[in-house]
Chain A
Amino acid sequence: MAYDKFDVLTSTAYPLPTENVDTDQIIPARFLKATERKDFDINFFRDWRYNSDGTPKADFPLNKEIYAGSKILVGGRNFGSGSSREHAAWSVYDFGLRCVISSAFADIFKNNCLNVGVLPVQVSAEFADTLFAAIMADPKAEIKVDLPNQTVTLVATGESESFDINSYKKDNMLNGFDDIDYLKNIENEISAFAETRPF
């Protein structure tokens, strides 16, 4: 599944400081019945965004008009724990987000994000707090995520931190490539290896 290239992104951000946000919150299991990948934004954070009668919860950050159109979500520690459902990463992407910033990510969610074109940016707990405080003080505070230079910056103050990403994945994100392109290229090497497997 191809995705748009990621280079430098400057955007306001949705703040979601709750810790241990699990993939059952990001997209509840009852919305995983599709057989094709489309419109997963509709049920993104379904039970936190909507009351049981379907009306939106006004105080939930993703519903607040002031943040609307943001391409970044700043989440609490251990974001994306739980199930391996890639639908969670799809729903992030389909909602219009290209980057999630947190002080810690669950492994599978992080991997899934990278595979669908959402950049997971891991920052220190202190820098995450700085970002939350800045957004609370000014909901229109902009964050600049610079993938080529691997930096994340609070635009208003210039406060900045660098983040890790391996050069292979970085190259993929910058060019919109995915792993299948790479793997199909070394098909012969893989089939020779497969011959050596005992079972």
Chain B
Amino acid sequence: MAKTLFDKVWDSHVVRQVKDGPDVFFIDRHFIHEVTSPVAFLGLESRGNSVVYPERTFATADHNTPTINQHLPVEDPLSANQLKALEENAAKHGISHWGLGDLNNGIVHVVGPENGITLPGATIVCGDSHTSTHGAFGAIAFGIGTSEVEMVLSTQCIMQPKPKKMRINVNGKLGLGVTPKDVALYIISKQTTSGATGFFVEYAGDVFEDMTMEGRMTVCNLSIEMGARGGMIAPDAKTFEYIKGRSQTPKGADWDKAMEYWKTLSTDEGAEFDVEFNYNATDIEPMITYGTNPGMGIGVTQDIPNAENVEGGVETYKKSLGYMNFNEGDSMIGKEIDFVFLGSCTNGRIEDFRAFCSIVKGRKKADNVTAWLVPGSHKVVDQIKAEGLDKIIDEAGFVLREPGCSACLAMNDDKIPAGKLSVSTSNRNFEGRQGPGSRTLLASPLVAAASAVNGVVTDPRTLLTA
């Protein structure tokens, strides 16, 4: 029977099916971080269980880490305590741990692929909803809760009903200034923030085939923002090229054997999806959000829609615009901004910094803008320096910070103050996401750079030459 990519990977990880219940689902790779794992270890220990496969779990500190002075002790005692708990739990149970200052440290969804832990055909979970990122490699990857983190630690399995299948095809060529982030925000604006709930998505078509691995990661990362459990893209020559030779990828005969399997990982002709959508690349322009969920996005040159033209309740919509202090019909272009955040597991990789620099090179940051540039990992930092991007950043009046999740969720000190408007390359524009009372506009690194230079929301195409 013809199978989808998702079926192939899912079905090969089912230990058993519970009658009228979930599947017992085997997890190949498990990432943990300081925020969602401590209670799982407490549970594990209170039941007298041990970590069954410590070599399948990888710990890195990212959510709650400072992005300046990482060489100094962490000031906030609660944050320091979480970091200490992660380190101690990892040491006690024989789990590899990349803490602050470690050369491999960074955002979990950046360092996983960088180190070759993320592989095609694998199942990958983490107590973080943006685990969907790893689907870019043809893995089934999704976020789990802390109870499930404990399940994985103590049994290497979770209990999951198999999601339904959705395919999203985007064909054609993307225009100037249109990035993977825009493709994702466009799809989410069509699907709404809940349109893909209950589904696992496969992305297919020219646009994703043409995309770099980092672009694919950005797209898969945002799958959760339309409610999907995850998203994936069939592995191809680019995927294999990316992973080959990384520290944890199979080597020698193991590599050859793995390649044989990986080459079978695509959707068979005639395989069926529960639902399928088609979009055209040429309909997509640089995107920006205007509301308080990622589905509230429009082309940057468009006006904020009227309540009667959007799906969902009018009251919720008006509450959202009220929070943003925007009006129906407002133009986004020209809105004065206060902050720019470049970073996160969505857009904190080297290509994002290259894109940002392509605009700010030879220009200056606007005086009214505070900008936080936070690379996704130390390896990204090293690459920025190797390519001389740090000089461009410096000359344009920006400062590079140290890696971490930072202002994406504002657990550390990187909080946007109440009422301030931020153009952010991260993934969520929820109320207060970047700090209590903060207002977030999600956009690509190009839109962020153009807006940082002009001090107002700007269409990056006005600063780019073809």
Contact = CB atoms under 8 A, between A and B. Distances in A.
B355 interface: no
A136 B127 CA distance: 38
B233 to A, nearest CB: 19
> Which of A28, A182, A199 has the most chain B CB atoms closer than 10 A to its own CB?
A199
Interface stretch (A5-13, A55-63, A106-114, A141-149): A106-114
Contact of B20 (A19, A167, A186): A167
Contact of B194 (A25, A106, A168): A106
Interface in A168-199: 168-169, 178-180, 182-184, 186-187, 189-191, 193-194, 197-199
Interface residues of B, number: 80
A32 B36 CA distance: 8
B21 interface: yes
Contacts of B431: 24-25, 47
A180 B147 CA distance: 9
Contacts of A33: 35, 64, 76, 78-79, 81-82, 411
B64 to A, nearest CB: 7
B47 A197 contact: no
B198 A18 contact: no
A77 B81 CA distance: 37
A191 B128 CA distance: 26
B145 interface: yes
Interface string A81-118: 11111110100000000000000111110011001100
Contacts of B43: 1, 180
B24 A190 contact: yes
A23 to B, nearest CB: 9
A52 B159 CA distance: 40
Contacts of A157: none
A34 interface: yes
B22 interface: yes
A84 B129 contact: yes
A17 B317 CA distance: 12
Contacts of A85: 35-36, 127, 145
A198 B194 contact: no
Interface residues of A, number: 59
Contacts of A166: 20-22, 161
A78 interface: yes
B38 A84 contact: no
Given A35-B38, A107-B198, A180-B47, A19 B119 contact: no
A76 B315 CA distance: 11
A20 interface: yes
Contact of A20 (B42, B63, B159, B193): B193
B197 A104 contact: yes
A37 B42 contact: yes
Interface string B141-165: 0011111101100111111010100
Given A35-B38, A81-B293, A84-B36, A19 B312 contact: yes
Given A29-B410, A37-B42, A84-B144, A179 B151 contact: yes
Contacts of B229: 107-108
Interface string B38-49: 110011000101
Contact of B410 (A30, A35, A37, A194): A30
Contacts of B39: 1, 35-37, 86
A34 B78 contact: yes
Nearest to A168: B21
Chain A CB count within 10 A is highest, among B19, B53, B409, for B409
Contact of A186 (B21, B24, B151, B315): B24
B316 interface: yes
Interface in B270-310: 293
Given A37-B42, A82-B129, A115 B24 contact: no
A83 B76 CA distance: 23
Contacts of B257: 198
B54 interface: no
B145 A84 contact: yes
Contact of A183 (B53, B146, B155, B409): B155
A20 B316 contact: yes
A51 B331 CA distance: 30
Given A25-B430, A32-B35, A36-B39, A168 B147 contact: no
Given A25-B430, A28-B432, A29-B409, A183 B26 contact: no
A168 B227 contact: no
A199 B254 CA distance: 9
Given A78-B197, A84-B144, A187 B155 contact: yes
Interface string B78-90: 1101100100000
B385 interface: no
B146 A86 contact: yes
Contacts of A104: 194, 197
B68 interface: no
A155 B119 CA distance: 53
Contacts of A17: 313, 315
Given A19-B312, A82-B430, A111-B144, 14 more contacts: A1-B39, A1-B43, A1-B147, A18-B315, A18-B319, A20-B293, A29-B63, A32-B35, A35-B42, A84-B128, A86-B127, A182-B159, A183-B157, A187-B155
21 contacts: A29-B409, A29-B410, A29-B411, A32-B36, A32-B63, A33-B35, A78-B193, A78-B194, A83-B129, A104-B194, A107-B198, A108-B229, A112-B146, A168-B18, A168-B22, A179-B159, A182-B18, A187-B155, A189-B16, A190-B157, A197-B28
